[in-house]
């Protein structure tokens, strides 16, 4: 639970750094709620994967959990920064303005990334394979998202 709480702080201060999440949630900004929900579901999925392993000792278990959790959080943040760069609009501004479609897309994309990066943890338990699959999967998601850049328009309220 402590790691999930830390993930919430990361979400508030880093993921949507230009948005005051608490204030926006109090103002019924559903777009911010969608990003926060996606972030927490993604973090929960990462926690589920890192807690599913077996270790020879308690110390080794905690070290493994922290290694994968910190790496997973960093990968989510790196992906978020890349995602922000490949969108044809300012997604943070759209989320701040309450564009639910952008918030939902951003939040569910975080969930998709979490599923990609946790698969090798659950299947192989190998840190190098985890990193390889994570970055290849993220590169693929960014490529797919980047291909749509410039097509269509986002409705601005």
Q: Pick the range with the lowest mean pLDDT from 35-39, 74-78, 151-155.
A: 151-155
Nearest one of 74, 61, 94 to 138, comparing CA atoms = 74
Locate all alpha helices (DSSP H) within 87-155, ordered by sequence: 91-96, 100-123, 127-147
Q: Is the pTM of this model over 0.85?
A: no
Look at the block and give the residue holding tokens 């890349």.
82
What tokens were used for 134? Answer: 């994570």
- The C-alpha atoms of residue 56 and residue 75 are separated, in whole angstroms, by 27
- The answer to whether the beta carbons of residues 113 and 41 sit under 8 Å apart is no
Instruction: Give tens-digit pLDDT for 106-146.
Output: 999 899 889 988 888 888 778 888 889 888 877 887 777 66
pLDDT exceeds 90 at position 103: yes
Provide the 3-class DSSP secondary structure of residue 79: helix
Residue 76 burial (C-beta neighbours within 10 Å; 0-12, 13-18, 19+) = buried
Give the angle 84-138-64 at the CA atoms, nearest 5°. Answer: 115
For the CA atoms of 50, 69, 105, 30, the dihedral, rounded to the nearest 10 degrees, stands at 100
């Amino acid at each position: 639970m402590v790691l999930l709480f830390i993930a919430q702080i990361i979400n508030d201060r880093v993921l949507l750094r230009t948005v005051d999440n608490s204030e926006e949630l109090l103002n019924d900004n559903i777009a911010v709620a969608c990003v926060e929900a996606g972030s927490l579901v993604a973090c929960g999925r990462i926690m589920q994967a890192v807690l599913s392993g077996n270790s020879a000792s308690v110390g080794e278990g905690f070290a493994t959990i922290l290694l994968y959790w910190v790496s997973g959080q960093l990968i989510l943040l790196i992906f978020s920064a890349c995602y922000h760069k490949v969108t044809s609009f300012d997604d943070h501004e759209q989320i701040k303005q309450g564009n639910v479609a952008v918030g939902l897309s951003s939040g569910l994309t975080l969930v998709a990334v979490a599923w990609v990066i946790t698969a090798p943890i659950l299947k192989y338990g190998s840190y190098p394979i985890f990193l390889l699959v994570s970055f290849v999967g993220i590169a693929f998601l960014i490529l797919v998202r980047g291909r749509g850049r410039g097509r269509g328009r986002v409705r601005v309220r």
